[in-house]
Structure 1
């Protein structure tokens, strides 16, 4: 199996205590992944923009211990978060085969997000990616021969086992996850940098996130993915995603923004259509989500702007547009769309280059 390359048998050095820190970004999928099999494997390939400002900073303090089992505490913004700990325990169980030192240490995991935890922005991608990178830094200290390429690939592989889309948050600006026949090196096991030409139209692409609903998710991602197993339209949806990724390859090369808009908005609506037609079924968009979408369409028709939207599995709207339109689009957002946001809140973001090591 290909993942065997991520198993290290013997380490050159041992560690007693220390601290490692990483900052990892969130990402927004353009072609959506919805539906998985096995251990966090995607039923279709996806491609995402890595974000720049929506990120998670995680520090892991560790010290050698003699007791059995995993031992860790999780803190969010300095406050103990026992509610996160079952998810971390499950993650440790999944990755222990690839990080055999996990039971040798007591860990203190301290994490903070650049965006409000209750904002409805998915923090699992940035959070799990940051944690995976911290653990990889520990491994690299024990095995200094680990190359940068292996480091990033294994970090993405590990992050996937915590949260599927987290594997797309290690690098940037455009990341593919899932095997696709037209993209060499693409893999179900980890995210890879998009390998082909990217037109300057997509450089520094902007993503303004409109916070329509800041409540807890109505349906967990795990449950949502599980509902694709017997979904009547699943096979057609997986084919559609594969075809849309194929169509984006020439678009990324030639900078065709009208075609980009058509594919990206169709993908967002298809994702929500899958949820509306599953059993049980969910409507995750809110009335204000639809108001925003309609106003974006009207603005585009009236002005010729190349602004468009995409959605995650929730009510918030990601407004995507070229940097050259930033002033005009932000004016439009503030004038017409803020009234549909919870407390008028939004986050200005743009495409970024991936995770960074924080020196401590």
Structure 2
């Protein structure tokens, strides 16, 4: 079953994505630029863009590039073409100095309004962006989404740590002690961010944290608590595997699942979905295939005899398993829509009718 979220909350229509780094810590797993790393059917870059679009309606993306810029540009351009987004690129000449230098390169391209700033390798729940929209920064400020649940942070040693007082950042650094929350890498900013980055650069600091510390000194860096909302910095092979595990967990399973669905169908459909998301198969094609299996099962029921009845039962069970894959694939590929949900529901009802007819014919024959 394919579902859709409610309409996104109105907010900024532009987002800056930092995609200039090399991502060498993922090289044991992939030799592609980090934004092009695939996670269950989509690249990290496409997942980030789809999440922001789902949460806030953002369609215009400014992507800062550096390492392997030509390849990265081509990929983001392809995403924009397929998804109907607008994308512009900014060459970050000093990208090797740090992510703050990459962000500063976008200064002349964000306009006067607020904008999202995210990393190309951070996966996050759309609710994190929605929380930022509900508590936006004031003039000259920036807001950072933070997670206070230290036990839920995947890589506790690598997380950027934040100390806050009264909702404002007082200190931020990877080795900070003591600390209150982890930096999720999702921000809602105004042009004031660039003031902090520029001041930090003048002092030799070229990381985003350096710029945020400058703003914190002026009480212009705020936090928004998004504890219990999932997020993940996909920076290592271990984090990549964790991303796959979380995505599969979130893609399948519904509160209405009965015991058979929960303990038999759903584990098998998830196993099958892992392969289907890497193929061109669409959710609607999967729905049709499941319906066809049900039709064949109904025909076997009507044939008569216990061998045909057993074969029909096995096919009907397989059809039920495959029927769970269409929604899972749609959610994993971020292509769920109202028509898909309606189409799947209609085919399910026809499949149920054909199976009932086949069983009735078998019983009366």
Higher relative contact order (CA 8 A, sep 6+): 1
More helix by share: 2
Range class of TM-score, shorter chain: under 0.3
TM (normalized to structure 2)? 0.24
